[in-house]
């Protein structure tokens, strides 16, 4: 898959994805280049992701010859590295390479020429934590929104489908590692696929399927003790409050889940998605892009994004047709 090829080449990480018939969605993490850059061996390893063995061998020869020159060859070594690393750890370069490679393949396969993509790609900055896992779920629910299926686990061309089904090579480690990162990056967890089998898979499944639950199904899932508590007369104020809070939480989860099963423009056009403080910080760093009358960056979600209002914020005020 070209997406994985450019992931390995650029050092970017695909956190979540979904490939549809005429478009695709990616949640991409773009870490900075390691301090000190790449070693020769790491550079050659990355090149092998998108270049054939002959090209990699030629680059290796260039590096070997430059290294033999000692200090005089350091500048040449730097030029060789820069030739390729300037295309790494960069969102635009990742997308440029991916789209061009797919276009060449598609044109050959269908005996056609010319451009394939109608518009330039859209990008939204997403904060770790609630925003990242929400956007990941929104991406994996694309086939559900399109009416292709009711359970996203059955769609093989998505991060969740690959994580559950194992992917084309029967492992799905990349997809599981990406989703672990989506749900746990704010806690300092790396892309560790071994954590998927713990609470991560259950938590993500709950988020994906919350919108499919009905009030009756939620009640049936309660324990007998909880159901008796609901029916008992003369319960204390504390017990009644606890039951009401639990109902509100369940309703909130279902409303949030249903939102993800609708088209929410904020997740594609919101510019920045995250907590209020995160969006405001992004606004400050790009102040020149906004009009002089604007005082802050965070905007409440409206329309179909209303269930996330107060939890997630966007940098754009999509009042008209906000859904």
User: So where are the chain's domains?
Assistant: 2-32+90-209, 40-85, 213-260, 266-314
pLDDT at 186 over 70: yes
* pLDDT at residue 245 in the model: 44
Residue 5 in tokens: 């090829």
What is the percent of the chain where pLDDT is above 70? 84
215 pLDDT above the threshold of 60: no
Mean pLDDT (whole number) for 299-309: 90
Task: Estimate to the nearest angstrom the gap between the alpha carbon of 179 and the chain centroid.
Answer: 8
Q: Is the pLDDT of residue 295 over 60?
A: yes
Determine the Cα angle at 175 with ends 170 and 177, to 5°: 115
Least confident of 91-105, 177-191, 207-221, 309-323: 207-221
3-state SS, residue 15: strand
User: For residue range 44-56, what is the model confidence (pLDDT) as tens digits?
Assistant: 999 999 999 999 9
The burial of 54, by beta-carbon neighbours within 10 Å (0-12 exposed, 13-18 middle, 19 or more buried), is given as: exposed
Q: What is the average per-residue pLDDT within 238-243?
A: 52
Residue 191 scores a pLDDT above 60: yes
Domain 2-32+90-209: CATH class, spelled out: alpha beta
> What pLDDT shows up at residue 55?
97
Residue 78: CA count within 13 A, CB half-sphere: 7
Q: Are 138 and 260 in contact (CB under 8 A)?
A: yes
Instruction: Let me know if 126 is exposed, middle or buried by CB neighbors in 10 A (0-12, 13-18, 19+).
Output: buried
Q: Which of 273, 140, 135, 132 is nearest to 205 (CA)?
A: 140
Q: Would you say 160 and 153 are in contact if contact means Cβ atoms under 8 Å apart?
A: yes
Report d(CA 92, CA 98) in Å as an integer: 10
What is the arithmetic mean of pLDDT over 150-158? 92
**What is the Cα Rg of the chain in Å?**
24
Q: Which of 24, 311, 21 has its CA nearest to residue 6?
A: 24
């Amino acid at each position: 898959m070209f997406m994985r090829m450019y992931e390995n080449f650029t050092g970017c990480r695909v956190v979540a994805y979904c490939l549809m018939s005429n478009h695709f969605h990616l949640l991409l993490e773009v870490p900075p280049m390691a301090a000190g850059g790449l070693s020769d061996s790491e550079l050659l390893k990355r090149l092998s992701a998108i270049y054939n063995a002959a090209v990699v061998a030629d680059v290796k020869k260039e590096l070997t010859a430059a290294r033999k020159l000692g200090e005089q060859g350091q500048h040449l070594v730097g030029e060789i590295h820069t030739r390729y690393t300037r295309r790494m750890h960069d969102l635009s370069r990742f997308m440029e390479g991916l789209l061009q490679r797919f276009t060449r393949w598609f044109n050959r396969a269908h005996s056609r020429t010319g451009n394939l993509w109608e518009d330039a790609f859209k990008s939204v900055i997403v904060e770790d934590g609630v925003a990242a896992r929400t956007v990941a779920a929104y991406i994996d629910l694309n086939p559900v929104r399109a009416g292709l299926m009711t359970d996203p686990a059955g769609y093989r061309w998505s991060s969740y489908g690959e994580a559950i089904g194992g992917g084309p090579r029967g492992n799905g480690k990349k997809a599981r590692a990406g989703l672990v990162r989506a749900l746990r990056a704010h806690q300092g967890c790396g892309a560790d696929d071994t954590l998927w089998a713990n609470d991560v898979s259950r938590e993500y499944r709950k988020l994906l399927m919350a919108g499919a639950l009905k009030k009756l199904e939620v009640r049936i899932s309660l324990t007998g003790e909880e159901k008796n508590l609901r029916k008992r007369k003369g319960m204390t104020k504390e017990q009644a409050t606890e039951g009401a809070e639990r109902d509100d939480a369940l309703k909130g989860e279902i409303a949030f889940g249903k939102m993800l099963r609708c088209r929410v423009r904020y997740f594609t056009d919101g510019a920045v998605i995250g907590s209020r403080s995160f969006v405001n910080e992004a606004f400050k760093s790009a102040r020149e892009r906004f009009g002089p009358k604007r005082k802050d960056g965070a905007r409440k979600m409206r329309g179909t994004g209303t269930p996330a209002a107060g939890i997630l914020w966007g940098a754009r005020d999509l009042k008209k047709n906000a859904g």
